[in-house]
Structure 1
């Protein structure tokens, strides 16, 4: 096997070098006969191969073969011209072709030769060249659409990353192939022109040499060299014509699941009506006076017989319900691979009840997959996280109108989206028909109303949300809340390599000299847990490089990164250009500093349960007071206790940002104190008093 591979690797380069030598080194007539026979046989092989392929990329080496075969034929033309002009003899093959075609008349031979040249140059070569040019243009124009279709299938989970890479490679290979065919067709056209020029040289040059050097009469010289020229032209023009036909077949071949012969026979006979009319037309022509009857009667009978066979085939397919043939049983390796792929857990998955499946292929405004693609872009620009592909599939186990969002194979959210209805959010909707519900993301009261009443609800001041928007908003909430768990090690590696292209010294200083990709991943996850964007990886790396010199604890590294991104964090917490803050009263903050404990999983605040409960009650009261005024606030505290305090506040106010004084100091945003939180604090903004400490 290895020896055969080596022979295949060196055979083509040796052949090309031999063709170059053929242009300059004289060869005997016997060897020319062998090479001419080889040329004709290989060209027939190429023609049959182009008819057997199912799609053009199955014969991707064809453009290169066009160049090699063109060079081979030109080399044979040069070698035969040398023999014709020098010896007035160019081997038995050329002589046999000349005498066979001429049939005793040089005029007939020249006419047939000229007809072949016109057929090749005017009809086949020009048509193949135009088809190749148009095919290359349309293939390049269609590339963006094909790439977007692949990305859509990947985003929706219909294909995996490996299949997406294979399809992208196939699209690129198809574009390269048609581009190469556009250039290869020019070789075919040039070959036809060169054949005409060489034929004229043989004819005129031979006539002159025969009379001047060999002392022939004009008639003898004309007969001798005309015979050789016609034979030489036919021996080279016939393979060139076959190669032109092969080029036309390749560039006009559409992808199919069967070879050209099978597809042509099946598609030509697919219409019983067309065959019946054609057969009847042939029989009508046969009865016209003066027309030979037998040929048309035979052809008409064959067409009518074929129509009867096609009719029986159609009836048989209709009786069988056109059921496809049973697929062959998969091999054990394929079955095992399919089982492994089925066992795999997707990071994100949306399960739809059967009556919600139309959401996947809706119109431009209600296409779930298209909206998910837009969501991926939004999440990437908002958090710096490349959202993993979302697999969308139906589940007969779900109740009607229900969708479920899975995160790493575990249900993370569930909702309903009844067909034919829209969700109206707002007060005063009791007079409208529909089912009252609570919106799953923001907890707002709403009602599923008939779709045709959506404009009426909007006119009454309600907010109307369509089903696709509801599912996408719910998915967005799940992705935002669990962004840290969706950041994979591979995502970190890709971001690291991208930053390395822009700032190699920064990356090399940190990774892997000080921190590994796992350490970077944990820091970025800590940032994403509090919805801190990780887009500016350069500033994050700079902060980590400085902080890692004194320690590599994840919490300390994350706090250093937060300080570097202080302006970004504060800008996300502003409300109308103002940062409204809740502060801790000094006694409570002092108690927290004294109760701070550092452990392996991060720092924690150790306080008696009643004090923690009082602090949480005060926090809930303050947050509620700010939200009643239509604003949002952030809790500000000392940098020392910020991480530990965040772990406490997530229980009472999961979405409340917790900032440190150092992070707020990095910006010049106006600050408005909205309240004071503490174990003994009273609300400055009019909230309820906090419970008293016992």
Structure 2
């Protein structure tokens, strides 16, 4: 059934061609005439409701199909009129009798007027508009393409948006070019209607008098009704289609559908209605004019104009009041803070805030062409996909107390990082395998602490040839901000974020959420658990596995630290994928003596367990760890320490004070498919 529907247009066109050849019964022909009229009305109404021509881009092809359909019906009706003594169905007879009203001359005159109106007025105008529009559209294509390229290069639009705009320009040119040719169908249809009507009438008279033996008056009465009826049945849909053609090629300056545009634009000019009503009143005073009709219409126009004038006046008054409020001088600081409610604004804290010196404003200000906000949005989307957490909005401020090239990153109102950027330079990072040196200003890359140089723009290509990694100033700023957010993501995870994560999971697994939250774990404890995972760089996007693990152990285990360890083991595939490379993971291990020392140093209190090791011994452990890390720093970027499951959490807390960048994993958190390669060992 679906295949038949998809090929229905092809089948319809074949059926139309067959109708030209195969004789049709009167009943079936009546049905086809009704379908033709209905289809024409649908097309006309559609052209009124579209906002732009490309919304009805199939119109040129549809114009050909409907024209062919009408001509096939004309041929079929001509066959019936000439072969059946003028009887070609109820539709043709009804149209003929209704228009003729017993007078063949009047019927022919009405028919000819309709054809001429369509041919000379509507079709001719549509043809001219389509021709001019097609020419102007083609001439404007290069300028539009250049505008798209300029917007793309300046970052105002994306590559996908640019591709869509280019496609629309090409489609628009193709459409108006097709419309220029398609209007010829309407013109030819009008000419053929006159020819077919003449053939029907002359042929009918000849057949009626020669073969039927009827008198001239009888033949004239019979075939005039059929001829005029047939002409009108074809010309009424043709007139509708011709009007639709004109409608669609005149939609150049429309912002909405025709109904909305007309209503909006007439409503904006109420005085034109009032003046028109006054003119009608003056005309009604002329002797002989029908005063009832004239004065009634004049009253309606004046009344509508007055109502629209009053509504526009009220609207303008409200706009003026709003503008006056906007233009009112701002209250002084003392006046503003007299209202106690305004003081609460002073204690509001933004989760993430960045303050910049005045030289960096062009980098972050959208009105100055900066794309900082777009880059932050891209990072937010990437971080959500990777870690399962949505980064809050970043508040930007300019700070006159900072150095011009300096910026500060704050979390919850407190400074956590700062840096300096030279806007007119590039940052060249040394990856360690340079083939040459480039002169520049020595500095340290702010996000990762890599030795680097600020180099002039004209040295960018030379630096890349020598092997430097060259970064533009905006990328340096965004990279530093994104790295700060990654490191402190557990601090940014709010209770509101937890509610949204739970609500999001509820859409796909409502029974699990209702079972676990808050009956087994409260929102506060869930926030602590997810914060523990984020603190060590573990994604929390698999909320289903996290809550299932809490459901399995949460009734017997209330310590959030222990629950976090169980969840980490459940997320072993995620952890393995994050820290392994090439099917193996390179680690530093702890000796049995060190693990026993840590286990024996665990103390308990009423609230939680904590580690208590002799400071001298602790210093020795950390020193040996740093020594092992320095040995293998050329083989791995981030040191990974492997421990037993019970020791992992305590050793991680120990390292946080001395080497927070290290990753501590347990054997139960590594998938069996990955090979563990020990590059060092820590022992006492």
TM-score, normalization by structure 1: 0.53
| Counterpart check, 1:418 vs 2:422 | yes
User: Which residue number in structure 2 is paired with residue 243 of structure 1?
Assistant: 244
Distance 2:542 2:44 in 1: 62
User: Which residue number in structure 1 is paired with residue 567 of structure 2?
Assistant: 561
User: Which residue number in structure 2 is paired with residue 624 of structure 1?
Assistant: 626
Distance 1:394 1:121, change over 3 A: same
User: Which residue number in structure 1 is paired with residue 513 of structure 2?
Assistant: 511
Distance 1:512 1:525 in 2: 22
Unaligned runs of 5+ in 2: 1-29, 78-87, 138-143, 266-318, 329-341
Distance 1:361 1:254, change over 3 A: farther
Distance 1:150 1:193, change over 3 A: farther
Distance 2:409 2:114 in 1: 79
How far does residue 188 in structure 1 lie from its aligned partner after superposition? 11
User: Which residue number in structure 1 is paired with residue 601 of structure 2?
Assistant: 592
User: Which residue number in structure 1 is paired with residue 297 of structure 2?
Assistant: none
Distance 1:635 1:374 in 2: 33
User: Which residue number in structure 2 is paired with residue 671 of structure 1?
Assistant: 678
Superposed CA offset, 1:507-554 (max 9, x none): 456322233594655533321111113355565455344323534553
Distance 1:101 1:404 in 2: 87
How far does residue 346 in structure 1 lie from its aligned partner after superposition? 6.7
Distance 1:248 1:386 in 2: 50
Distance 2:255 2:606 in 1: 68
Distance 1:194 1:355, change over 3 A: same
Distance 1:241 1:673 in 2: 86
Give the paired residue count: 507
Any idea what SS the aligned residue of 1:659 has?
strand
Aligned alpha-carbon RMSD (Å): 6.7
| Counterpart check, 1:400 vs 2:407 | no
Superposed CA offset, 1:390-433 (max 9, x none): 558563645422334454666543222112223355699xx987
User: Which residue number in structure 1 is paired with residue 322 of structure 2?
Assistant: 329
Distance 1:549 1:128, change over 3 A: farther
| Counterpart check, 1:548 vs 2:550 | no
How far does residue 451 in structure 1 lie from its aligned partner after superposition? 3.8
Distance 1:391 1:191, change over 3 A: farther
Distance 1:587 1:56, change over 3 A: same
Distance 1:191 1:466, change over 3 A: closer
Alignment of 1:79-118 (within 5 A): 82=90, 85=93, 88-91=96-99, 102=109
Superposed CA offset, 1:212-261 (max 9, x none): 799735566676766676677766654543332222233785789x9799
| Counterpart check, 1:534 vs 2:540 | yes
How far does residue 571 in structure 1 lie from its aligned partner after superposition? 6.0
Conserved in 2, the CA contact under 8 Å of 1:199 and 1:233?
Answer: no
User: Which residue number in structure 2 is paired with residue 295 of structure 1?
Assistant: none
How far does residue 556 in structure 1 lie from its aligned partner after superposition? 3.1
Conserved in 1, the CA contact under 8 Å of 2:598 and 2:651?
Answer: no
Conserved in 1, the CA contact under 8 Å of 2:387 and 2:540?
Answer: yes
Distance 1:232 1:422, change over 3 A: closer
Distance 1:424 1:637, change over 3 A: same
Distance 1:115 1:478, change over 3 A: same
Any idea what SS the aligned residue of 2:655 has?
helix
Conserved in 1, the CA contact under 8 Å of 2:628 and 2:681?
Answer: yes
Any idea what SS the aligned residue of 2:601 has?
helix
Which of 388, 393, 412 matches 2:391?
Answer: 388
Alignment of 1:267-666 (within 5 A): 329=322, 348=352, 350-359=354-363, 368=372, 372=376, 375-376=379-380, 379-380=383-384, 383-388=386-391, 391=394, 395=398, 397=400, 399-407=403-411, 411-424=415-428, 436-453=442-459, 464-487=470-493, 488-489=497-498, 492-493=501-502, 496=505, 500=508, 507=509, 510-516=512-518, 518=523, 522-536=528-542, 539-551=545-557, 553-566=559-572, 568-569=574-575, 572-573=578-579, 577-583=585-591, 585=594, 588-593=597-602, 595-597=603-605, 599=607, 603-605=608-610, 607=612, 611=613, 613-614=615-616, 616-631=618-633, 632-663=638-669
Distance 1:529 1:497 in 2: 25
Distance 1:466 1:237, change over 3 A: closer
